[in-house]
Structure 1
Amino acid sequence: MPIPAPNLYPPFNILRLSHIEFGVTDLAASRAFYVDTLGLQVTDEDDETIYLRAMEERGHHCLILKKKAQASVDYLAYKVFSEDELDKAHDWFAAQGHDVAWVTRPYQGRTLRTHDCFGAPMEFYFKMDRLAPIHQQYALYKGVKPLRIDHFNCFVPDVDKAVAFYNRIGFRVTEYTEDEETGRLWAAWTHRKGGVHDIAFTNGLGPRVHHTAFWVPTPLNIIDLLDLMATTGYVGNIERGPGRHGISNAFFLYILDPDGHRIEIYCSDYQTVDPDLEAIKWDLKDPQRQTLWGAPAPRSWFEHGSLFDGVEPVAATLKATPIVAP
Structure 2
Amino acid sequence: MTILRLSHVEIRVPDLELATAYYSEVIGMIETGRDSSRVFLKCWDEHQHHSVVLTMEPTHGLNHFGFKVTDAEDLDLYQDRLEAAGVAVRRYAADEWAPGHGTSIRFALPSGHEMELVYGMQQVGNLLPQTNPPPRPMGLVGIAPPRVDHIFLTAEEVDTNTRFLTEHLDFRLTEQILGDDGYQIASWLEVSHRSHDIAFITGPNQGLHHFAYWVDGWNDLRNAADACVYHGVNIETNPTRHGATRGQCLYFFDPVGNRNEMFTGGYWVDPGADPITWTESEMGRAMFYFDGVVNQQFLTVHS
TM-score by shorter chain over 0.5: yes
Q: Distance in 2 between matches of 1:183 and 1:71?
A: 33
Partner of 1:118, secondary structure, is coil
Partner of 1:39, secondary structure, is coil
* Residue equivalent to 2:178: 178
Identify which of 271, 276, 288 aligns with 2:272.
276
- Structure 1 unaligned segments of length 5 or more: list them: 1-11, 308-326
Deviations 1:92-145 (A, max 9, x none): 222222222122222022221111122211111111111223154522422222
How far residue 294 of structure 1 moved from its aligned partner, in angstroms, is: 4.2
Partner of 1:139, secondary structure, is coil
Q: Distance in 1 between matches of 2:158 and 2:41?
A: 31
* Residue equivalent to 2:188: 189
The amino acid across from 2:56 in the alignment is: K
Q: Distance in 2 between matches of 1:270 and 1:142?
A: 29
* Residue equivalent to 1:205: 204
Q: Distance in 1 between matches of 2:231 and 2:126?
A: 30
Identify which of 54, 66, 72 aligns with 1:83.
72
Q: Is contact 2:103-2:121 (8 Å) kept?
A: no
* Residue equivalent to 2:23: 34
Q: Distance in 2 between matches of 1:121 and 1:43?
A: 23
Identify which of 224, 235, 238 aligns with 1:238.
235
The amino acid across from 2:68 in the alignment is: K
Q: Distance in 2 between matches of 1:167 and 1:32?
A: 38
Deviations 1:270-291 (A, max 9, x none): 111x220222111121142211
Q: Is contact 2:13-2:59 (8 Å) kept?
A: yes
Q: Distance in 2 between matches of 1:47 and 1:233?
A: 28
- In the alignment of these two chains, the number of paired residues is 291
Q: Distance in 2 between matches of 1:260 and 1:64?
A: 15
Percent identity over paired residues: 28
- How do residues 1-326 of structure 1 correspond to structure 2 at under 5 angstroms? 12-103=1-92, 104-105=96-97, 106-135=99-128, 136=134, 138-168=137-167, 169-179=169-179, 181-234=180-233, 237-272=234-269, 274-286=270-282, 287-294=284-291, 296-305=293-302, 307=303
Q: Distance in 1 between matches of 2:17 and 2:273?
A: 45
How far residue 20 of structure 1 moved from its aligned partner, in angstroms, is: 0.6
Runs of 4+ aligned structure 1 residues displaced above 4 Å come to none
Deviations 1:139-177 (A, max 9, x none): 242222211111111111112212111111211011111
Deviations 1:55-100 (A, max 9, x none): 2211111101111232232111111121111111222222222222
Q: Is contact 1:242-1:294 (8 Å) kept?
A: no
Partner of 1:260, secondary structure, is coil
Q: Is contact 1:145-1:217 (8 Å) kept?
A: no
The amino acid across from 2:173 in the alignment is: V
Q: Is contact 2:61-2:207 (8 Å) kept?
A: no
Q: Is contact 1:212-1:263 (8 Å) kept?
A: yes
Provide the TM-score with structure 1 as the length reference: 0.84
The amino acid across from 1:15 in the alignment is: L
Alpha-carbon RMSD:
1.7
Question: Is 104-113 or 262-271 further displaced after alignment?
Answer: 104-113
